[in-house]
Amino acid sequence: MEVLVIGAGLAGVTSAWYLAQAGCNVTVLDRQPAPGLETSFANGGQISVSHPEPWANPSAPATILRWLGRNDAPLLFRPRAEMEQWRWALSFLRECLPGRTARNTAAIAHLATYSRQELRALRASTGIEYEAAEGGILHLFETRREFDHLPAKLKLLQKFGIASQILDVDQTIALEPSLAALRPRLVGALHGIDDETGNAHLFCKALAKKAQEAGVQFCLNNSIQAFDVIHGKIAGVRVFDAEQRAGMLRADAFVIAAGSYSPQIVRPLGIKLPIYPVKGYSITVPILDEKRAPRLSLTDESRRVVCSRLGNHLRVAGTAELNGFDLSPNPSRSAAIAAWLEDHLPGVGDLSRAEHWCGLRPTTPSNVPLIGRTCIDNLFLNTGHGTLGWTLACGSGQAIADIVTGLRPEPDFPFLIEPKP
Protein backbone atom coordinates (compact mmCIF):
# COMPACT_ATOMS: atom_id res chain seq x y z
CA MET A 1 0.00 0.00 0.00
CA GLU A 2 1.23 3.48 -0.92
CA VAL A 3 0.60 6.02 1.86
CA LEU A 4 1.14 9.78 1.80
CA VAL A 5 1.54 11.41 5.23
CA ILE A 6 0.98 15.17 5.24
CA GLY A 7 3.06 16.76 7.99
CA ALA A 8 6.59 16.06 9.20
CA GLY A 9 6.27 16.90 12.87
CA LEU A 10 6.02 14.35 15.68
CA ALA A 11 2.60 13.09 14.53
CA GLY A 12 3.64 12.77 10.90
CA VAL A 13 7.06 11.21 11.44
CA THR A 14 5.77 8.63 13.95
CA SER A 15 2.87 7.81 11.61
CA ALA A 16 5.33 7.29 8.76
CA TRP A 17 7.60 5.12 10.90
CA TYR A 18 4.87 2.75 12.06
CA LEU A 19 3.26 2.59 8.63
CA ALA A 20 6.63 1.61 7.16
CA GLN A 21 7.03 -1.03 9.87
CA ALA A 22 3.63 -2.38 8.80
CA GLY A 23 4.90 -2.86 5.25
CA CYS A 24 3.57 0.29 3.59
CA ASN A 25 5.46 2.40 1.07
CA VAL A 26 5.38 5.82 2.71
CA THR A 27 6.03 9.37 1.54
CA VAL A 28 5.98 12.33 3.96
CA LEU A 29 5.00 15.75 2.61
CA ASP A 30 5.85 18.99 4.42
CA ARG A 31 6.25 22.65 3.53
CA GLN A 32 9.32 23.04 5.74
CA PRO A 33 12.89 22.16 4.63
CA ALA A 34 13.35 19.56 7.40
CA PRO A 35 11.23 17.52 9.85
CA GLY A 36 10.10 18.91 13.18
CA LEU A 37 10.48 22.63 12.52
CA GLU A 38 7.07 23.85 13.67
CA THR A 39 5.17 22.87 16.85
CA SER A 40 7.54 19.96 17.52
CA PHE A 41 10.59 22.23 17.53
CA ALA A 42 10.86 23.57 21.10
CA ASN A 43 8.05 22.23 23.28
CA GLY A 44 8.32 21.64 27.03
CA GLY A 45 10.06 18.29 26.58
CA GLN A 46 7.74 16.38 28.88
CA ILE A 47 6.25 12.95 28.28
CA SER A 48 3.64 13.56 30.95
CA VAL A 49 1.47 10.47 31.38
CA SER A 50 0.69 11.57 34.95
CA HIS A 51 -1.33 14.57 33.76
CA PRO A 52 -4.22 13.18 31.70
CA GLU A 53 -6.81 15.69 32.92
CA PRO A 54 -7.74 17.99 30.03
CA TRP A 55 -7.76 21.77 30.14
CA ALA A 56 -11.54 21.53 29.82
CA ASN A 57 -12.58 20.50 33.33
CA PRO A 58 -15.15 21.74 35.88
CA SER A 59 -12.69 24.17 37.50
CA ALA A 60 -11.54 25.74 34.21
CA PRO A 61 -14.26 28.41 33.69
CA ALA A 62 -13.72 29.99 37.13
CA THR A 63 -9.94 29.83 36.71
CA ILE A 64 -10.10 31.52 33.31
CA LEU A 65 -12.32 34.28 34.73
CA ARG A 66 -9.70 34.98 37.43
CA TRP A 67 -7.07 35.36 34.71
CA LEU A 68 -9.05 37.78 32.54
CA GLY A 69 -7.31 41.12 32.07
CA ARG A 70 -3.86 39.78 32.97
CA ASN A 71 -1.41 39.97 30.08
CA ASP A 72 0.82 37.44 31.86
CA ALA A 73 -2.02 35.02 32.60
CA PRO A 74 -1.31 31.34 31.84
CA LEU A 75 -4.28 31.40 29.42
CA LEU A 76 -4.79 34.52 27.32
CA PHE A 77 -7.94 34.78 25.21
CA ARG A 78 -7.77 37.44 22.50
CA PRO A 79 -11.25 37.73 20.94
CA ARG A 80 -11.23 37.80 17.16
CA ALA A 81 -13.94 38.40 14.59
CA GLU A 82 -13.95 34.79 13.44
CA MET A 83 -16.57 32.11 14.00
CA GLU A 84 -13.98 29.34 14.43
CA GLN A 85 -12.63 30.88 17.62
CA TRP A 86 -16.04 31.44 19.22
CA ARG A 87 -17.35 28.05 18.15
CA TRP A 88 -14.26 26.43 19.68
CA ALA A 89 -14.66 28.43 22.92
CA LEU A 90 -18.31 27.41 23.32
CA SER A 91 -17.43 23.77 22.67
CA PHE A 92 -14.63 24.06 25.24
CA LEU A 93 -17.12 25.21 27.88
CA ARG A 94 -19.39 22.27 27.08
CA GLU A 95 -16.45 19.88 27.57
CA CYS A 96 -15.98 21.28 31.09
CA LEU A 97 -19.04 19.35 32.30
CA PRO A 98 -18.03 16.65 34.84
CA GLY A 99 -19.21 13.71 32.77
CA ARG A 100 -17.39 14.89 29.66
CA THR A 101 -14.23 15.62 31.64
CA ALA A 102 -14.25 12.10 33.09
CA ARG A 103 -14.68 10.57 29.64
CA ASN A 104 -11.94 12.71 28.11
CA THR A 105 -9.53 12.07 30.99
CA ALA A 106 -9.96 8.31 30.56
CA ALA A 107 -9.35 8.53 26.81
CA ILE A 108 -6.16 10.58 27.25
CA ALA A 109 -4.89 8.32 30.05
CA HIS A 110 -5.37 5.15 28.00
CA LEU A 111 -3.63 6.58 24.95
CA ALA A 112 -0.83 8.14 27.03
CA THR A 113 0.07 4.91 28.83
CA TYR A 114 0.00 3.03 25.54
CA SER A 115 2.15 5.70 23.90
CA ARG A 116 4.77 5.50 26.65
CA GLN A 117 4.89 1.73 26.13
CA GLU A 118 5.41 2.20 22.39
CA LEU A 119 8.09 4.87 22.90
CA ARG A 120 10.07 2.59 25.19
CA ALA A 121 9.77 -0.27 22.73
CA LEU A 122 10.92 1.99 19.90
CA ARG A 123 13.87 3.23 21.94
CA ALA A 124 14.89 -0.32 22.83
CA SER A 125 14.63 -1.59 19.24
CA THR A 126 16.35 1.32 17.49
CA GLY A 127 18.72 2.83 20.06
CA ILE A 128 17.38 6.28 19.12
CA GLU A 129 18.95 9.14 21.08
CA TYR A 130 17.19 12.42 21.89
CA GLU A 131 18.45 13.61 25.31
CA ALA A 132 15.99 11.28 27.00
CA ALA A 133 15.80 11.17 30.78
CA GLU A 134 13.73 9.04 33.12
CA GLY A 135 12.98 9.61 36.80
CA GLY A 136 9.58 11.23 36.44
CA ILE A 137 8.00 14.66 36.67
CA LEU A 138 7.41 16.67 39.85
CA HIS A 139 4.13 18.58 39.86
CA LEU A 140 4.70 21.44 42.32
CA PHE A 141 1.99 23.00 44.49
CA GLU A 142 2.30 26.28 46.35
CA THR A 143 -1.26 26.55 47.68
CA ARG A 144 -2.89 24.30 50.26
CA ARG A 145 -6.19 24.38 48.35
CA GLU A 146 -4.66 22.77 45.25
CA PHE A 147 -2.53 20.35 47.26
CA ASP A 148 -5.54 19.08 49.22
CA HIS A 149 -7.10 17.85 45.95
CA LEU A 150 -4.21 15.45 45.34
CA PRO A 151 -5.59 12.34 47.11
CA ALA A 152 -8.53 12.28 44.68
CA LYS A 153 -6.19 12.81 41.74
CA LEU A 154 -3.87 10.06 42.98
CA LYS A 155 -6.80 7.66 43.22
CA LEU A 156 -7.76 8.48 39.63
CA LEU A 157 -4.21 7.94 38.36
CA GLN A 158 -4.01 4.60 40.17
CA LYS A 159 -7.26 3.60 38.46
CA PHE A 160 -5.48 4.00 35.11
CA GLY A 161 -2.32 2.23 36.29
CA ILE A 162 -0.25 5.44 36.33
CA ALA A 163 2.36 5.25 39.08
CA SER A 164 2.44 8.43 41.19
CA GLN A 165 2.99 9.47 44.79
CA ILE A 166 2.18 12.49 46.94
CA LEU A 167 5.20 14.12 48.59
CA ASP A 168 5.39 16.61 51.43
CA VAL A 169 7.89 19.48 51.34
CA ASP A 170 10.76 17.51 52.89
CA GLN A 171 10.23 14.56 50.56
CA THR A 172 10.02 16.87 47.54
CA ILE A 173 13.31 18.61 48.31
CA ALA A 174 14.99 15.32 49.18
CA LEU A 175 14.04 14.02 45.73
CA GLU A 176 14.93 17.28 43.95
CA PRO A 177 17.47 19.31 46.01
CA SER A 178 17.46 22.16 43.47
CA LEU A 179 14.11 23.22 44.98
CA ALA A 180 15.56 23.98 48.41
CA ALA A 181 15.12 27.73 47.98
CA LEU A 182 11.37 27.19 47.49
CA ARG A 183 10.90 25.56 50.91
CA PRO A 184 9.15 28.57 52.53
CA ARG A 185 6.36 28.65 49.93
CA LEU A 186 6.20 25.04 48.71
CA VAL A 187 3.33 22.94 50.06
CA GLY A 188 4.21 19.66 48.38
CA ALA A 189 4.27 17.80 45.08
CA LEU A 190 2.90 14.94 43.06
CA HIS A 191 5.64 12.74 41.60
CA GLY A 192 4.72 11.12 38.29
CA ILE A 193 7.17 8.28 38.76
CA ASP A 194 7.19 6.80 35.26
CA ASP A 195 7.11 10.05 33.32
CA GLU A 196 10.02 10.98 31.07
CA THR A 197 11.55 13.92 29.26
CA GLY A 198 13.30 14.30 25.94
CA ASN A 199 14.10 16.70 23.12
CA ALA A 200 11.15 16.31 20.76
CA HIS A 201 12.96 17.99 17.87
CA LEU A 202 15.99 15.70 18.17
CA PHE A 203 13.63 12.72 18.35
CA CYS A 204 11.79 13.89 15.25
CA LYS A 205 15.02 14.31 13.28
CA ALA A 206 16.48 11.01 14.47
CA LEU A 207 13.32 9.01 13.75
CA ALA A 208 12.97 10.66 10.34
CA LYS A 209 16.50 9.50 9.54
CA LYS A 210 15.71 5.95 10.63
CA ALA A 211 12.48 6.08 8.63
CA GLN A 212 14.45 7.10 5.53
CA GLU A 213 16.78 4.17 6.12
CA ALA A 214 13.66 1.97 6.25
CA GLY A 215 12.52 3.30 2.86
CA VAL A 216 10.32 6.28 3.76
CA GLN A 217 10.66 9.17 1.33
CA PHE A 218 10.45 12.82 2.43
CA CYS A 219 9.06 15.39 0.04
CA LEU A 220 10.04 18.64 1.79
CA ASN A 221 9.74 22.29 0.81
CA ASN A 222 6.44 21.43 -0.86
CA SER A 223 3.04 23.01 -0.21
CA ILE A 224 -0.40 21.59 -0.98
CA GLN A 225 -2.38 23.22 -3.73
CA ALA A 226 -5.38 20.86 -3.96
CA PHE A 227 -6.60 17.28 -3.69
CA ASP A 228 -7.65 15.26 -6.72
CA VAL A 229 -10.87 13.43 -5.85
CA ILE A 230 -12.15 10.69 -8.14
CA HIS A 231 -15.33 8.71 -7.37
CA GLY A 232 -15.36 9.86 -3.75
CA LYS A 233 -11.74 8.91 -2.99
CA ILE A 234 -8.53 10.91 -2.89
CA ALA A 235 -6.43 10.06 -5.94
CA GLY A 236 -3.57 12.46 -5.36
CA VAL A 237 -2.33 15.76 -4.01
CA ARG A 238 -1.22 18.64 -6.20
CA VAL A 239 1.82 20.41 -4.74
CA PHE A 240 4.15 23.33 -5.39
CA ASP A 241 7.83 23.19 -4.46
CA ALA A 242 9.94 26.11 -3.20
CA GLU A 243 10.44 27.31 -6.81
CA GLN A 244 6.67 27.16 -7.44
CA ARG A 245 7.01 24.17 -9.74
CA ALA A 246 3.87 22.06 -9.82
CA GLY A 247 3.79 18.34 -9.08
CA MET A 248 1.43 15.51 -8.19
CA LEU A 249 1.79 12.93 -5.41
CA ARG A 250 -0.40 9.84 -5.69
CA ALA A 251 -1.13 7.19 -3.06
CA ASP A 252 -3.68 4.63 -1.93
CA ALA A 253 -4.19 6.27 1.47
CA PHE A 254 -3.57 9.75 2.90
CA VAL A 255 -2.89 10.70 6.54
CA ILE A 256 -3.37 14.29 7.69
CA ALA A 257 -0.86 15.03 10.46
CA ALA A 258 -0.46 18.76 9.91
CA GLY A 259 -1.24 20.04 13.39
CA SER A 260 -3.07 23.37 13.57
CA TYR A 261 -3.20 23.60 9.79
CA SER A 262 -5.12 20.33 9.40
CA PRO A 263 -8.56 22.05 9.28
CA GLN A 264 -7.41 24.34 6.46
CA ILE A 265 -6.12 21.40 4.47
CA VAL A 266 -9.30 19.31 4.62
CA ARG A 267 -11.87 22.13 4.52
CA PRO A 268 -12.02 22.12 0.68
CA LEU A 269 -13.07 18.49 0.95
CA GLY A 270 -16.11 19.46 3.03
CA ILE A 271 -14.61 18.24 6.31
CA LYS A 272 -14.69 20.50 9.37
CA LEU A 273 -12.31 19.72 12.22
CA PRO A 274 -12.80 21.17 15.74
CA ILE A 275 -9.17 22.24 16.06
CA TYR A 276 -8.00 25.72 17.00
CA PRO A 277 -4.38 26.94 17.27
CA VAL A 278 -3.26 27.72 20.82
CA LYS A 279 0.06 29.55 20.92
CA GLY A 280 2.61 28.43 23.47
CA TYR A 281 6.01 29.88 24.36
CA SER A 282 9.33 28.47 25.49
CA ILE A 283 12.86 29.56 26.29
CA THR A 284 15.92 27.35 26.11
CA VAL A 285 18.85 28.44 28.27
CA PRO A 286 22.35 27.01 28.86
CA ILE A 287 22.88 25.62 32.37
CA LEU A 288 25.35 27.72 34.36
CA ASP A 289 25.56 25.59 37.50
CA GLU A 290 25.25 21.82 36.95
CA LYS A 291 25.06 21.09 40.68
CA ARG A 292 22.06 23.38 41.23
CA ALA A 293 20.19 22.44 38.05
CA PRO A 294 17.13 20.23 38.46
CA ARG A 295 17.52 16.54 37.74
CA LEU A 296 13.79 15.94 37.29
CA SER A 297 11.32 17.75 35.09
CA LEU A 298 9.12 20.24 36.95
CA THR A 299 5.55 21.43 36.45
CA ASP A 300 4.26 24.47 38.33
CA GLU A 301 0.58 23.63 38.60
CA SER A 302 -0.44 27.13 39.64
CA ARG A 303 1.25 28.99 36.80
CA ARG A 304 1.08 26.23 34.15
CA VAL A 305 4.83 26.39 33.52
CA VAL A 306 7.06 23.36 32.88
CA CYS A 307 10.83 23.06 33.12
CA SER A 308 12.85 20.17 31.65
CA ARG A 309 16.55 19.46 31.58
CA LEU A 310 17.62 18.61 28.03
CA GLY A 311 21.31 17.78 27.97
CA ASN A 312 23.18 20.87 29.16
CA HIS A 313 20.18 23.19 28.68
CA LEU A 314 16.95 23.97 30.49
CA ARG A 315 13.74 24.22 28.50
CA VAL A 316 11.07 26.32 30.22
CA ALA A 317 7.68 26.43 28.52
CA GLY A 318 4.14 27.48 29.17
CA THR A 319 1.25 29.86 28.60
CA ALA A 320 -1.60 29.44 26.17
CA GLU A 321 -2.75 32.21 23.85
CA LEU A 322 -5.89 31.94 21.71
CA ASN A 323 -5.14 34.43 18.97
CA GLY A 324 -5.64 32.62 15.68
CA PHE A 325 -2.64 31.82 13.51
CA ASP A 326 -0.68 34.87 14.66
CA LEU A 327 2.89 33.66 15.27
CA SER A 328 4.31 37.04 16.19
CA PRO A 329 5.94 36.74 19.64
CA ASN A 330 4.52 38.57 22.63
CA PRO A 331 7.55 39.74 24.66
CA SER A 332 5.57 39.83 27.90
CA ARG A 333 4.74 36.12 27.57
CA SER A 334 8.38 35.12 27.13
CA ALA A 335 9.38 37.50 29.92
CA ALA A 336 6.94 35.78 32.28
CA ILE A 337 8.57 32.41 31.57
CA ALA A 338 12.06 33.84 32.09
CA ALA A 339 10.92 35.45 35.35
CA TRP A 340 9.58 32.08 36.52
CA LEU A 341 12.98 30.47 35.95
CA GLU A 342 14.88 33.16 37.82
CA ASP A 343 12.33 33.10 40.64
CA HIS A 344 12.30 29.32 41.10
CA LEU A 345 15.86 28.39 40.09
CA PRO A 346 17.88 31.61 40.52
CA GLY A 347 21.22 31.69 38.77
CA VAL A 348 20.91 28.20 37.32
CA GLY A 349 20.35 29.24 33.67
CA ASP A 350 22.06 31.86 31.53
CA LEU A 351 19.12 34.05 30.58
CA SER A 352 21.38 36.35 28.56
CA ARG A 353 21.71 33.51 26.03
CA ALA A 354 18.08 32.38 26.10
CA GLU A 355 16.63 31.11 22.83
CA HIS A 356 13.02 32.27 22.53
CA TRP A 357 10.36 30.34 20.62
CA CYS A 358 6.61 30.19 20.14
CA GLY A 359 4.46 27.70 18.26
CA LEU A 360 0.85 26.74 17.62
CA ARG A 361 -0.59 23.74 19.44
CA PRO A 362 -3.44 22.05 17.52
CA THR A 363 -6.08 21.87 20.23
CA THR A 364 -9.54 20.33 20.29
CA PRO A 365 -12.13 21.59 22.81
CA SER A 366 -11.95 18.26 24.66
CA ASN A 367 -8.14 17.98 24.39
CA VAL A 368 -8.73 14.52 22.86
CA PRO A 369 -6.90 14.18 19.52
CA LEU A 370 -8.58 13.16 16.28
CA ILE A 371 -7.23 9.78 15.15
CA GLY A 372 -8.87 7.59 12.58
CA ARG A 373 -10.83 7.48 9.34
CA THR A 374 -12.78 10.36 7.81
CA CYS A 375 -15.94 10.27 5.71
CA ILE A 376 -13.63 9.92 2.67
CA ASP A 377 -12.69 6.27 2.58
CA ASN A 378 -8.94 6.65 2.08
CA LEU A 379 -8.36 9.84 4.08
CA PHE A 380 -7.21 9.53 7.70
CA LEU A 381 -6.43 11.88 10.59
CA ASN A 382 -3.72 11.97 13.24
CA THR A 383 -3.95 15.48 14.60
CA GLY A 384 -5.27 17.71 17.39
CA HIS A 385 -2.93 16.63 20.19
CA GLY A 386 -2.75 20.04 21.88
CA THR A 387 -0.14 20.21 24.64
CA LEU A 388 0.31 16.42 24.64
CA GLY A 389 1.82 15.93 21.19
CA TRP A 390 5.08 14.54 22.59
CA THR A 391 3.33 12.43 25.22
CA LEU A 392 0.93 10.85 22.71
CA ALA A 393 3.15 10.72 19.61
CA CYS A 394 4.21 7.07 19.44
CA GLY A 395 0.87 5.66 20.53
CA SER A 396 -0.97 7.79 18.01
CA GLY A 397 1.47 6.83 15.25
CA GLN A 398 1.07 3.12 15.93
CA ALA A 399 -2.70 3.47 16.20
CA ILE A 400 -3.12 5.25 12.86
CA ALA A 401 -0.85 2.69 11.21
CA ASP A 402 -3.13 -0.03 12.55
CA ILE A 403 -6.26 1.75 11.31
CA VAL A 404 -4.87 2.44 7.83
CA THR A 405 -3.81 -1.19 7.43
CA GLY A 406 -7.15 -2.56 8.65
CA LEU A 407 -6.20 -3.56 12.19
CA ARG A 408 -7.87 -2.66 15.48
CA PRO A 409 -5.70 -0.38 17.65
CA GLU A 410 -4.85 -1.67 21.10
CA PRO A 411 -5.81 1.20 23.45
CA ASP A 412 -9.32 1.91 24.73
CA PHE A 413 -9.77 5.20 22.92
CA PRO A 414 -12.52 6.87 20.83
CA PHE A 415 -10.85 6.42 17.46
CA LEU A 416 -12.76 8.02 14.60
CA ILE A 417 -14.81 5.80 12.38
CA GLU A 418 -16.62 8.27 10.16
CA PRO A 419 -16.79 11.92 11.29
CA LYS A 420 -19.48 14.00 9.62
CA PRO A 421 -18.37 16.28 6.78
Over 70: is that where the pLDDT of 95 sits? yes
Is position 406 within any domain? no
Dihedral in degrees, nearest 10, Cα atoms 222, 321, 203, 251: -30
| Confidence (pLDDT) at 392 | 98
Q: What pLDDT, on a 0 to 100 scale, did the predictor assign at position 45?
A: 97
What is the mean predicted confidence (pLDDT) over 261-284? 97
Q: In what order do the strands lie in the sheet containing 217-219?
A: 217-219, 25-29, 2-6, 253-256, 379-383, 370-373
**Does the residue 28 lie in any domain?**
no
- Residues 96-104 have a mean pLDDT of 97
Residue 382 falls inside a structural domain: no
Mean pLDDT over each residue of the chain, to the nearest integer? 95
| pLDDT level of residue 418 (50, 70, 90 thresholds) | low
User: Does some domain include residue 16?
Assistant: no
Here the CATH number for the domain that contains residue 89 is 3.30.9.10
Question: Domain range for residue 304?
Answer: 52-96+133-196+276-363
Assigned domain for 302 exists: yes
Higher pLDDT, residue 159 or 67: 159
In this prediction, residues 110-125 reach a mean pLDDT of 98
Alpha helices in 33-168 (DSSP H): 60-67, 83-95, 98-126, 144-147, 150-159
Of 65-69, 206-210, 258-262, give the lowest mean pLDDT range. Answer: 65-69
The answer to which of 57-66, 217-226, 363-372, 395-404 has the lowest mean pLDDT is 57-66
Q: Is the pLDDT of residue 419 over 50?
A: no
Give me the half-sphere count of Cα atoms (radius 13 Å) on the Cβ side of residue 233.
9
Q: Print burial letters for 79-106: b (CB count within 10 Å at least 16), e (below 16).
A: eeeeeebeebeeebeebbeeebbebbbb
- Residue 81 pLDDT level (bands cut at 50, 70, 90): confident
- Is the per-residue pLDDT at 242 higher than 90? no
The amino acid occupying position 117 is Q
- pLDDT computed for residue 235 by the predictor: 97
Distances (CA, A) of 89 to 4, 40, 79, 264, 307: 32, 24, 10, 18, 28
- Contact at 8 Å (CB) between 278 and 385? no
State the average pLDDT over residues 180-196.
Answer: 96
* Domains held by the chain: number: 1
Confidence class for position 410, pLDDT limits 50, 70, 90? very high
- In this prediction, residue 284 carries a pLDDT of 98
Summarize pLDDT for 330-356 with one digit per residue, the tens: 888 899 999 999 999 999 999 999 999
pTM of the model: 0.95
Residue 146 lies in a domain: yes
Whether 399 is in a domain gets the answer: no
pLDDT score recorded for residue 292: 92
How many Cα atoms are found within 13 Å in the side-chain-facing hemisphere of 390? 25
In 3D, which of 350, 269, 291, 290 has the Cα closest to residue 316? 350
Write down the pLDDT at residue 82. 85
Q: Are strands 313-322 and 276-286 parallel, antiparallel or unpaired?
A: antiparallel
- Specify if 316 maps to a domain: yes
